Structures are given as C-alpha cells and as structure tokens.
Structure 1
Amino acid sequence: MYDEKILPVEEMLAYEEFTDRVEILRELDAWVKNIQRMASPSTAIISPRRMGKTVLLDRLVNTVFFKPEYRVAPFYFRMTREKTTLRKFLLEYATTFFRQYIAYCNQDPVLFQDESLELGELLEQDSEHDAVRLAQKMIRDFLRRYEKNTHEDARNQWDAFIRIPERLASFSGTRVAVIIDEFQEMKFSVYDTSEEHFTELGARGMLTDQGATNLTATYDRQSQSRKAPMLVSGSAVTLIFRTVMGGPLGGRFDFRYLRPLSVPDGAALLHQLLDIYLPDVTASPENALYASAQVGAHPYYLYCLAMSKSEDKKFDDTDSIDRLIRYETEQGKIFGFWQTHFQDNRMHINTDSDEVLGKKIIYYFTRYNNQPVGIRELAEKLNVPKKTVEEKIERLYLADLVWRTRARYYAFNDICLMRYIKFVYENDLEDVEEIDLSQQNLFNNLKGRFLELVVQVTMMKFNNETLDGKFFGKTGEMETPLFQFADTKYVKSSGSRSYQIDVYARERRKGERIWLCECKYTKTKMGIKQVGKLEDAAVALRQEAEELGRTVPDIQMWLVSTGGFTGEVAEYVREREDIFFSDYEGINGIFRAYGGNYNIPVFKEQ
C-alpha cells in the first residue's frame, strides 16, 4: 500500500482522492516501460487548469519509480513562473536530474525528494550500480566546467547538458523519462544574464516575458531521443499546444488531451471527498450522480462542491445541489477561479471596438458547451460579419476559453465556465434571450444509459487482474483482459435487420476477440428473448466480417441485468463458456473492484 512506504513524490491529494485516470495512467506506465526498447516518442499532456494533470504525473512517477525492472529512471521537473538566471537554473536542473537518476538506480525514494542536497554531495553516494558510478563521473565533469566559468558560458553549458540524459542512458543502459510539468513556462522564466544585471532589471520592473530565454526551443534534438524521450504537460492549453506542435519542436511530439472524469467516476470522487472531509454530510448514489452530471464530472468543481462555504450545503435532492452549484459559480471557489482567469487574460477578452457586441458574442458562445462553435450561426444571430465573430473567437482561443482542432473551434467541456460567463455578462446586456445551461437533459439520458456507461467505463479499467468468477456467473477465478476500446455499436444482419449492441469491446491481444454486452437496467429479470437477441447480433457480426473479408472474431458475450435472470436463462447460460452473466450483486462487485464506492442505483422506469 502507498501509505506504508515513503514515496519519491509527495502527492497533493489523499491517496483515496485519486479517482479514475486508470486508462491514461496505464498508457503512461507503458510509455515509460517501452523506453527501454526505444519505442516511446516524446508526448505532451494537454489540459485546462485544475483537471488533475499534475496529480497524474505525481502518481505516474510514484508508480514507475518502484519498478527497477523497467530500467527507466523518471526525471521529474516542475516548472514555476519564478524568475531566475540561466546559470542558477542550470545548476538546479542538473542537480535535480542527477539526484533523481541516482535515487532510482539505488531505489532510494528519500534521496529522490531531498531537495536540500547540493550537487557535489551526490559524489558521496555509495553504490555498486554501474549507472550511478557513470553519473558521478558526469557530475565531476559538469562541476569542473560550471565552477571554472561565469554566466557567459551558461548557455553553452545548458545546450551541452540537454544531451546528458540521453548520453547517460546510452552508456549505462538505464534509460530516462524526461518529465517536465508546465513545460511552456520555460519560455518566460529564465534570463541569460549575470546575477547583478538580473537584480538590476528586477528592481526596475524590466524582467518581461519577452526578455526571457526560450529554453523550450533548446529541446529540438532531445525531443527526438528514444533513449531519453520527453513527457511534458501544460495547463495553458493554447500556449503548450503551440510550443510542442510548432516552431523548433513541431512534428516531434504526440499529444494527449486530459478530459474530465466519467460521470460514474465523478460520483465516486464526490462520495470519497465527503467521506474524507465531511463524514457528517452524505449524498445518495442518485444525488451524487446528479451533482457529477451537473458539473460535467470536473474533479476540481466536485472538490468545490464538497468544500463549499455555503451555509446551505446539502446534497439531499436535486434542488439543494442546484443551489450549491449556483453559489459556487456566482460567489464561491468556482467564481473566484474563473474571475482570476478572465482578469489575467483581459488583454485578449476585452479588446473590442464595440464592447457590447464583444460581450454578446461571449454570452451567446455559451450555447456551445463541448461542441463546435457555430461562427456562422453567431454572425447571423447578432447580424454582424462572420469575420467579426471569427476574430473574437480567436481571442477567446488565445485566452484558453476555446480549443482548436481540424481547423475548427470547440468550446471546452466545461459547463461551469459557461454558467460563470452567463452570470457575469447577462446582467450587463439588454434584450438577450435566456440561455438554459441546465444539464437536466443530460441527466435524464444518463439515467436511461447509466448501466451501459458503467460497464463501458469499468471494462476500460480491466488490466489482467484476477477477479472472483462469481461476479461473472462462473466458479473459480477469472483473469480480466485489457481492452482497446468499449463503446456502443450497431450491426446489420444479412436479412437487413439492425441490432444495437449495448457494449462492444475489443481486447488488446493478438487475434480478434470481441466482447458483446447486453444490459438490462430494470428491476425485472432478463428473459431468454434478450439472450437470443445478443446471440443474433453475434451471428450478424460474424457474417459482416465474412462479407467484408475480415478475420471472423472470437466472441465473448456478457449479460448484465440489475433485475437478475429468469430460471430459463440461468439454466441456458450456466454451462456456456462463451456467455458470462452478472446480476445486481455481480456487476456491483466488479464496479467496486475498480473504484466504485457506492451501489449502482436502479432508477425508476423511464
């Protein structure tokens, strides 16, 4: 257990607060592991602030550090906006790298986190590890040059040091994962000048972003390394995207966008937060799901609800949750979060020749939560040229209020941002129509599809663990597979009949193995007709593969019914190895094994 040993990185959250992120954490773990065989390209994780990316990186480092069999040392550097000279920064960067590299080789988490050690003290570390001895030789070489020269050599020594992780990885065989949080800040915080001149500039208020040295550009060679590739992150979405996808680093990075939690995982997080911080406050599974849906399962917003200073903080029903969300977006932590963001980006948001029109564009933009922004529609609505709207949306893009992909602008999946905008701008504008930002329709749809969603989300967390076979209607133990994806699918038979498959998932292994899941989310038992429907869908899927000349898949069927099964179904599937079946207790057992901390609610019939 994590709480029984010292971790190399002190995590900012209680261990139990880390919810979901299983899939991306698994992928990043594989990314680190594959560095040993030089199969991992440099990658960027991009997300808005407060989405949990730093927590994710903390957990990644704490996971892979204790895997010496990977022979990949995590080098984890967190950038801040604290301004410094290049010579000072070089020493801090080099000290952090060598300390963490030696700590990994020696499996010493205390050394990894001991920032009080000076670089020269690492020469006193005793080790029989060949990589440590080689690292100590490189430390001596580095210090010899650093102490002999002044700030005038700092840039040359920095450029040389960029290659050290790769050289050490190549010579020693212990590779390196170069992990830098808030990478874009390397553009604005470091100045290639003497300490005296740096102090003078600071006193005169002349330490501008434009005067800083853009160190991100110096990674143009390092970012292509396969022995010490980079994993960088950034919460200034537009800036980090431009940094890694353009300029000297263009084409060198893969990237992953970190999204909010799934709604079921958001509800699990809320339950966990209440258990940890407010044991006297409770929320039923239905109300926790409602709260999660209403804030888009955003982890920070769920934290804000749990820790709200509202005098009327309750999760008793949907009305009390709506009041709590309104308090937070209009005067609580969520309001303060976005108020600060808008103030910090006012040079982009408020530069309009027609201030009222600019506000109207922002106000009507709230219609497009998690959707492509309808620029033509906005232009027609406001009776202005399309170019005027495009220019405003571009400024919102620079302010990290929209994101861009495939030459289109999209609103972030952030309903609380939209509610904040509506609250701030609606009262300043005359003759604007009321925009409904309730997520009630989403919640109603969620209730109808919740079981399918739980099954999909949970299947993507399977990772070759062993579970009790009784959860799947079988005896003994069962090893869960690793899935490539899990989603809904439609398939047509040769007779033109169409079948909806509630959950269609493909395993990550050689050969074709597909899981088809039929979900019955009521209190009534699943009958033999629904079993036959799933079997017919399996036949249609095989026929489709044959007609298209594809490999005919091996199919595993899975019946999930919160109301259980009729005796006829139980008898029919008991001896069938190709059919699993989970009743309410079974699916809850699986759900709980992967982080669910409440029983799956069975809503009233729609």
Structure 2
Amino acid sequence: MAQALLSLRQKGVGKTAVLMRLYNDLFTKQDDVVPFFLTFAPYKDPAEKLTVTIFNEYYFTTVIKQYIAFRLRRPEMVEDSIDIDILSDLAMKNGMAELEKWFISYQRLHNDSLEAVRLMVAQMTFYLMHKQAGLLIIDEFQLLTHVWDEVIRSSRDTTGVFQRPAEARWCPMLVSGSAVSLTEQAVLTSVLARRFKLDYLEPFEKNHTVEYVSKLAQLNHLIISDEVTSTIQTLTGGNPFYIKCLLDSDRLLEDNNLSTPERLLKVYEYEISQKNGSLRDFWDTHFSVYGDKLNSEDTVARAMYFLSIHPGEDIGTHEIAAAIGENKAKTKKILQNLYDADLVERNSLWRYVGITDPVLADYIKRVYKEQIEGQSSEDYQKFLKEEYWKKLGSLNRRIGELAEIYLMMLMEKFTDQRVDAKRVFGRDEGEVKLPLFKGHIEKRAGQIKDGSPIEFDLIAKGEDENWFVEVKYWKTPVGKTEVEKFVNKLKEIDLEDSKTLVAWFFSRNGFQKEAKDMLQASNIRHSDTDGFNEIASVVGCVKLP
C-alpha cells in the first residue's frame, strides 16, 4: 500500500474489527513494517470531550509505545498504560536513540506551546519512519475535525497535521470512520484532498452471511434452521452487527432455540422495539448523537419515513418536499442534515436514495408510527409482523438459493485437497483433487445455444477443469426425471478444448435408486448431506445442519 487510504464503513459492518485484525497481523507476522493503531472511538460520546491536550498525549504516547513494543516484540505493551518516563527508559536501555529527541521535545513543549507540540507529534511519525517503514492506522478520523482547544476556547480541525505523513510512501496512512459523510468531508475536502484513495466496505455478501450465521450459531450453541439462516440475511442485509444482536439476544436465553422464522420474529420484535433491545439502542444512540441536526419536527420524521418506504429508489428533493408538505428550501436543509448524520445517501446535490438499510428502515417506521401517527405499541407490533412476512416472500425460493450458497461456500474452500471419490462423490475414481477455482464460481450461469439459455445452478472454472453443478435441497430424495434434465443440459455444453468437464449433482436427501443408476451410467459425481459434510471437514467449511 503506497498511497494513503480512506476506508469508509456503514455503522455496524465491522470496520474497527478489520483494522484491529490488520494491526495484529502486521505486529505478529512480519518484521519489516511498524504498525500503529489509534482509535478516537470513545469521543463519539458527546459527554467525552476530545481536547488538544488529550489528543497530544494520546497520539505521542501511543505511537512511541507501539514503536517500542514492535521493536522489542512485546505485544502485551500495546494494551498497557505506560508512563512516559518508563517508555523513555525502555527506549534508551534498548538502543533506540532515535527516540531521544522526541521525548525531550515532548517534555519541553507539553506544558508550553500546545500548537508546537501538536505539530511535533504529527512530524514525529514522518521522521521516525525514515528509520523503518510503517503503517499509521487511525479509526474514527472524523472526530479530529472538532478538537477543543482550551487556549483559544474553541474547537479546531487537527486533521491538517497529517499532511506530511499522508504523503510519506514509507509510512502511508489508513484512516476510517463510521460517520461516513463527515469522514469523507474531513479527508476529501480538506488539505488532505487528493492524498487519499477511497475504499468503501459493504455489508456481507450472501455466502459470507450464511457462513457467519452458521459459525456464530455454533459458538452460541443455538438450534438454527436453514429457513432462519436465509431469513436473517433478508432481515439484516448482511450487516454483521445486526446479525450478532439477533444471535446474542436475551430472548434466546430460555432454550437457545431459533429453529423457525416465527421464533426469529419474536427475537426481532424485541430487539427493534423494546427499550432493552440492542437494535433499538444502537439507533437510539445514533439519533441522540445527532440531536442538534435531527430535531423533533414532524417534517423530519415524515422525510425519513418517506425515504424508508422507497428503498433504493432515486428520489428528487421536489418529490420529497411534496410528500412531506414542506417547501423546497427547508426540505433541502432537512435532507442535508440527514445526509450529515449518515441516515441517507445522496446521488447528487438535489437527489437522494431511499433508505436501503432494512433495520434502520424498521426503526424509522416504528418512530413514525408511534410518535407521528400515534399508534399504540400493539398496533405497531401488528404492523411489524405484516412487514416481516412480506419481506420474506417465497420460502421455497429462498431455501433453494441458500442451498446454492452452501455449495459455493464449499467450493470456494477448494485448494487442491484430495478426497476419496467413492465416499464423497459416489464414484470409483480413487482419490480425486478438489481444484482451486480462484474465485471463478458463478451462480445461475450458463450459455446461450440456438437462442435458448442453458442454465446451471453453479459453474466453477479451474485451470484444468470446469465444474457444472446441480443443486437440490429437497426434503425427499431426487428421482430419475431431475437427473435426466441435468444430463440433457450437459450434452449441450460447448467446452473449451483444453478443459475437462466435471459434473456434480448435490441432493440434500440423496437419490432414488433409478436416479443413482443413471448418475453412475452418466459418469456424474453425486453427493448427499453426508458427502457434503465430509468434504467440509477436509476443506474447513461450515457443515450442513
């Protein structure tokens, strides 16, 4: 990473966990790059004031401490609170003379000129990294735009002090923030503009959501079904924080049973609508932080509600103004405040995107129904249940898609491991290799032949083999008719000359005898749940329930 990077994450997606994992890996798995990790997350709470003095002390001691810890290979130092004098003694006793001038400068300037020490701590990393390459990671960077200075009795923007480190190729910066719009403004419209590359981490894709749900359920000893796993993806949009709230819910303490969508609904009702619910508390806290922007006017709630019932739609300011009964100028101000609070996305100066976060949309609907329409809690619960079942749609369709995700997850773990074909694929082929597909796995893919589509549930392309996969997640064994359809599709494939075709039929509950005979005669590999789980054990994948 030669250029500074601005990493933006939707609330709850797990940005801090990603940054900490990166820091830990750099600290423990290599010796060439010194990692630094600073977080200003505690100061998201308005009651905790970030001052210039606090910023100076935290920045200086953290960078120096982490540098010494890395050089001495002492990870326990990172979490310890260590006095500056002790850090100085450690550095001098272990031959880190390059730090001496920084200790002297800090002690001399700390009680003298706050402006001077502010500049000094920013330059420290820049010059220090002439000695050894580094990576400076800062979490909740947007909070550095409003740091209180007791001398001038006003807030100041301290982000500019990172201009030189941001330009240093031997110590690039990785900064992140959960207040997406404010972080973006702090970096891309300041003196740091054009020095950062922008990266945005989306919520989990469906296959990663399934894997996360399965592993978390195992850790929590939950009874969970395929139907619930699929429903959680729809309900949370793949946000890992929302998923964790549901699977860690107090409502599960009685029997740890989350086996049906009905049981999940009870958990979701509690978490989104009750005062002790984690999802409600999460958004209550967010709204309280932006209380000055999100006042109690009905028009603000109406605007949020309108955007929540048009998810993903491109909507003009004039349309929103008409819907909430307000003039365009005031509507524009309301929308700007919602944008600053990371509650809506903007396509352009005058156009916005309907809220796509499903949990936020449900939270807004609850507030609107109870506070604006005056509905009782019972009326809202009835409304929430209706919305819940509408979202879920066709259960059979979702379960079919989930089955394909399970197979995709499994095949993504193939890295040339070897398995007994008779045990897992029902074929007398001896030991066979599970080839690396390097991400070339597609769902619902195929070819067009003579104007008609030939579609397969999964197609995986390897260096020497192309796998064509049929998936049936039925409650009964697959019969001969379905195998015939698969065989006929395979006959129509135009395969690359250099590639070997591998056909694989997965059926959750196995095959009827005639179907199995046809699979053998057609040289098609076939597996049931036991075969899947044996492969999962070999490649390190989540097993089927």
Shared fold (TM-score greater than 0.5)? yes
1:104-137 alpha-carbon deviations (Å, 9 max, x no partner): 334322233333253653553599xxxx84xx22
TM-score norm. by structure 2 comes to: 0.78
- Choose from 63, 76, 86 the match for 2:37: 76
Instruction: Provide the rounded CA distance (Å) in 2 between the counterparts of 1:372 and 1:592.
Output: 46
Q: CA deviation at 1:330?
A: 0.9
Which position in structure 1 is the counterpart of 2:15?
Answer: 53
- 1:372-521 equivalences under 5 Å are 372-373=314-315, 378=320, 390-404=332-346, 409-411=352-354, 413-429=356-372, 437-438=387-388, 439-441=391-393, 444-459=396-411, 462=413, 464=415, 466=417, 468=419, 470=421, 475-476=430-431, 478=433, 481=436, 483-484=438-439, 486-488=441-443, 492-493=447-448, 495-503=450-458, 517-521=468-472
SS across alignment from 1:519: strand
Instruction: Provide the rounded CA distance (Å) in 2 between the counterparts of 1:368 and 1:553.
Output: 49
Q: CA deviation at 1:249?
A: 2.2
Instruction: Provide the rounded CA distance (Å) in 2 between the counterparts of 1:573 and 1:262.
Output: 34
Instruction: Provide the rounded CA distance (Å) in 2 between the counterparts of 1:588 and 1:538.
Output: 32
1:19-65 alpha-carbon deviations (Å, 9 max, x no partner): xxxxxxxxxxxxxxxxxxxx443223322333222222222222232
Q: CA deviation at 1:142?
A: 0.6
Contact 1:187 1:214 (C-alpha < 8 Å) held by counterparts = yes
Instruction: Provide the rounded CA distance (Å) in 2 between the counterparts of 1:384 and 1:230.
Output: 44
Contact 1:488 1:500 (C-alpha < 8 Å) held by counterparts = no
Which position in structure 2 is the counterpart of 1:179?
Answer: 137
Contact 2:6 2:196 (C-alpha < 8 Å) held by counterparts = yes
Instruction: Provide the rounded CA distance (Å) in 2 between the counterparts of 1:475 and 1:98.
Output: 58
Structure 1 position 368 matched with structure 2 position 310: yes
Structure 1 position 349 matched with structure 2 position 297: no
Instruction: Provide the rounded CA distance (Å) in 2 between the counterparts of 1:157 and 1:223.
Output: 19
Structure 1 position 100 matched with structure 2 position 66: yes
TM-aligned CA distance change 1:286 to 1:592, over 3 Å: farther
Contact 1:87 1:151 (C-alpha < 8 Å) held by counterparts = no
Which position in structure 2 is the counterpart of 1:14?
Answer: none
Which position in structure 2 is the counterpart of 1:8?
Answer: none
SS across alignment from 2:258: coil
- Choose from 225, 231, 235 the match for 1:290: 231
Q: CA deviation at 1:76?
A: 1.1
TM-aligned CA distance change 1:269 to 1:324, over 3 Å: same
Instruction: Provide the rounded CA distance (Å) in 2 between the counterparts of 1:467 and 1:557.
Output: 15
Q: CA deviation at 1:216?
A: 1.8
TM-aligned CA distance change 1:411 to 1:476, over 3 Å: farther
Structure 1 position 212 matched with structure 2 position 178: no
1:463-501 alpha-carbon deviations (Å, 9 max, x no partner): 857464656777547475373564446555463333335
Contact 1:487 1:503 (C-alpha < 8 Å) held by counterparts = yes
TM-aligned CA distance change 1:382 to 1:513, over 3 Å: farther
Contact 2:59 2:121 (C-alpha < 8 Å) held by counterparts = no
Instruction: Provide the rounded CA distance (Å) in 1 between the counterparts of 2:170 and 2:501.
Output: 39
Contact 2:410 2:541 (C-alpha < 8 Å) held by counterparts = no
Instruction: Provide the rounded CA distance (Å) in 2 between the counterparts of 1:222 and 1:506.
Output: 43
TM-aligned CA distance change 1:149 to 1:105, over 3 Å: closer
Q: How well do the aligned residues superpose, as a CA RMSD in angstroms? A: 4.0
Contact 2:246 2:267 (C-alpha < 8 Å) held by counterparts = yes
Contact 2:309 2:354 (C-alpha < 8 Å) held by counterparts = no
> 1:217 corresponds to which letter in structure 2?
G
Contact 1:363 1:426 (C-alpha < 8 Å) held by counterparts = no
Which position in structure 2 is the counterpart of 1:206?
Answer: none
TM-aligned CA distance change 1:481 to 1:223, over 3 Å: farther
Instruction: Provide the rounded CA distance (Å) in 2 between the counterparts of 1:87 and 1:458.
Output: 52
Contact 2:459 2:469 (C-alpha < 8 Å) held by counterparts = no
Contact 1:68 1:104 (C-alpha < 8 Å) held by counterparts = no
Q: CA deviation at 1:274?
A: 5.1
TM-aligned CA distance change 1:392 to 1:555, over 3 Å: farther
Instruction: Provide the rounded CA distance (Å) in 1 between the counterparts of 2:464 and 2:169.
Output: 32
Which position in structure 2 is the counterpart of 1:112?
Answer: 78
TM-score norm. by structure 1 comes to: 0.71
Instruction: Provide the rounded CA distance (Å) in 1 between the counterparts of 2:431 and 2:121.
Output: 55
Contact 1:293 1:443 (C-alpha < 8 Å) held by counterparts = no
Instruction: Provide the rounded CA distance (Å) in 1 between the counterparts of 2:322 and 2:494.
Output: 48
> 2:99 corresponds to which letter in structure 1?
I
Which position in structure 2 is the counterpart of 1:155?
Answer: 115
SS across alignment from 2:387: coil
Structure 1 position 566 matched with structure 2 position 516: yes
Contact 2:145 2:186 (C-alpha < 8 Å) held by counterparts = no
Which position in structure 2 is the counterpart of 1:326?
Answer: 269
1:375-417 alpha-carbon deviations (Å, 9 max, x no partner): 6665665676677655443332122112235775334542221
